[in-house]
Amino acid sequence: MSVETHTGANPHHEHPDVVGSRNRLGVILLLVADVAMALSVLFVYFYLRQQNVNNMWLPLATADTPAVHPISTRGTWIVTALAALGLLSHFYGLKGARAKAQSQLTLGATFAMAFSAAALVYQFSQIGNAPFTTTSGAYASTYFLIAGLNTLHLVLTLFISIGNWNRSRLGLYVSDHWHVDIVNIWWIWMTVSSALGAFALSFT
Amino acid sequence: MTTLMDRPASASGEASSKRPLIERLNIFTALGLGAVSAIVVWQLALKYLPQNADTAFFFNREDKISLLSLIAWFVGFMVGIGALIGPFRWLMGKDLSHEENMFLAGKDQGVKRYFRYTTDHKVVGIQYVVITIIIFFVAGVLAMLIRTNLGKAGGGWIQPQTYNAIVGWHGIMMIVATIIMVTGPFGNFIMPIMIGARDMAFPRLNALSFWLIVAAIPPVFISFFTGGITTGWTAYNPLASQAGLGMNGYIAFICIFAISTMVSGANITTTVVKMRAKGMTWNRTPIFIYGVVASVALALPAFPVFFLSQIMSGLDRAFATSFYNSAAGGSGWLYENLFWIMGHPEVYVILIPAVAALMEMAPVFTRRPLFSFNLAILGIAGISGLSILVWAHHMYISGWAPLLNAPFMLTTELISIPTGMLFLVLVGTLWRGRVWMTMPLMSIYALLWNFMIGGITGIYLSDVPADSFLHGSMYVTAHFHYTLMGAGLTGALASLVYWFPKMTGRMFDTRLSWISFWLVQIGFNVAFIGMFMVGLAGQPRRVEAYAEIFSRGNMVTTMGAYTIMAGMLVLLHGVISSWRSGVPAPMNPWQAKTLEWTVPNPIPLENFAVLPVVTSDPYGYGKVQQ
- Judge if B67 and B210 occupy the same domain: no
| Chain B residues with beta carbon closer than 8 angstroms to that of A4 | 612-613, 615
- Judge if B100 and B129 occupy the same domain: no
Residue at B264 is within a domain: yes
Residue at B26 is within a domain: no
Reported ipTM: the value is: 0.93
Burial B480-514 (b: 16+ CB within 10 A, else e): bbbbbbbbbbbbbbbbbbbbbbbbbbbbbbeebbb
Residue ranges, chain B, pLDDT below 70: 1-17, 52-59, 623-626
- Judge if B425 and B305 occupy the same domain: yes
- Judge if B179 and B88 occupy the same domain: no
pTM of full prediction above 0.90: yes
- Judge if B71 and B134 occupy the same domain: no
| Chain A residues with beta carbon closer than 8 angstroms to that of B90 | 163, 167
The CATH code of the domain that includes B476 is 1.20.210.10
pLDDT computed for residue B154 by the predictor: 82
* pLDDT tens, residue by residue, A112-142: 999 999 999 999 999 999 999 999 999 999 9
Q: What angle do CA B529, B530, B534 make, to 5 degrees?
A: 115
Residue at B16 is within a domain: no
Average the pLDDT over A64-71 and give the result.
91
Residue of B nearest to A169 (CA): B93
Q: Looking at B327-483, which runs of residues are DSSP E strands?
A: none
- Judge if B72 and B136 occupy the same domain: no
Catalogue all structural domains in chain A, each as residue range(s) with its CATH number. 19-57+73-201 (1.20.120.80)
Question: Is residue B49 a contact partner of residue B65, using CB atoms and an 8 Å limit?
Answer: yes
| Chain B residues with beta carbon closer than 8 angstroms to that of A53 | 326, 329-331
Q: How many domains does chain B have?
A: 2
Distance between CA atoms of A198 and A147, rounded to whole angstroms? 9
Residue at B220 is within a domain: yes
| Inter-chain residue contact B322 with A135, CB threshold 8 Å | yes
- Judge if B77 and B217 occupy the same domain: no
| Inter-chain residue contact B620 with A34, CB threshold 8 Å | no
Residue at B615 is within a domain: no
pLDDT computed for residue B120 by the predictor: 97
Q: Which of B262, B278, B595 sits opposite A30 (nearest CB)?
A: B262
Residue at B96 is within a domain: yes
The answer, yes or no, to whether residue A11 has pLDDT greater than 90, is no
Distance between CA atoms of B210 and B496, rounded to whole angstroms? 18
- Judge if B126 and B85 occupy the same domain: no
Distance between CA atoms of B47 and B69, rounded to whole angstroms? 13
Residue at B57 is within a domain: yes
CA B526 to chain centroid, in Å, comes to 25
| Inter-chain residue contact B611 with A135, CB threshold 8 Å | no
- pLDDT class for A12, splitting at 50, 70, 90? low
CA end-to-end span of chain A: 60
Task: Give the domain range for residue B76.
Answer: 31-106
Residue B97 is given by DSSP the state P
Q: How far is A77 from chain B (nearest CA, A)?
A: 24
Q: Which of B55, B284, B328 sits opposite A138 (nearest CB)?
A: B328
Mean pLDDT (chain A) is 92
Instruction: Examine the fold and report which residue of B82, B106, B130 is the final residue of a domain before the chain moves on.
Output: B106
* pLDDT tens, residue by residue, B536-579: 999 999 899 999 999 999 999 999 999 999 999 999 999 999 99
CB contact set of A66 (below 8 Å; sequence gap of 6+): none
Distance between CA atoms of B559 and B545, rounded to whole angstroms? 18
Distance between CA atoms of B103 and A184, rounded to whole angstroms? 31
- Judge if B191 and B283 occupy the same domain: yes
What is chain A's percent helix, strand, coil content, to nearest 5?
Answer: 70, 0, 25
| Count of Cβ atoms closer than 10 Å to residue B417 Cβ | 13
The answer, yes or no, to whether residue A37 has pLDDT greater than 60, is yes
* pLDDT tens, residue by residue, B468-523: 999 999 999 999 999 999 999 999 999 999 999 999 999 999 999 999 999 999 99
Question: Is residue B358 a contact partner of residue B443, using CB atoms and an 8 Å limit?
Answer: yes
pLDDT computed for residue B621 by the predictor: 87
Residue of A nearest to B90 (CA): A163
- Judge if B102 and B126 occupy the same domain: no
pLDDT computed for residue B547 by the predictor: 92
Distance between CA atoms of B60 and B306, rounded to whole angstroms? 22
pLDDT computed for residue B50 by the predictor: 80
pLDDT computed for residue A1 by the predictor: 62
| Chain A residues with beta carbon closer than 8 angstroms to that of B270 | 22, 25-26, 29
- Judge if B464 and B555 occupy the same domain: yes
- Judge if B197 and B101 occupy the same domain: no
| Inter-chain residue contact B322 with A3, CB threshold 8 Å | no
* Torsion angles phi and psi, residue B471, rounded to 5: -60, 135
Residue at B4 is within a domain: no
* Torsion angles phi and psi, residue B587, rounded to 5: -60, -40
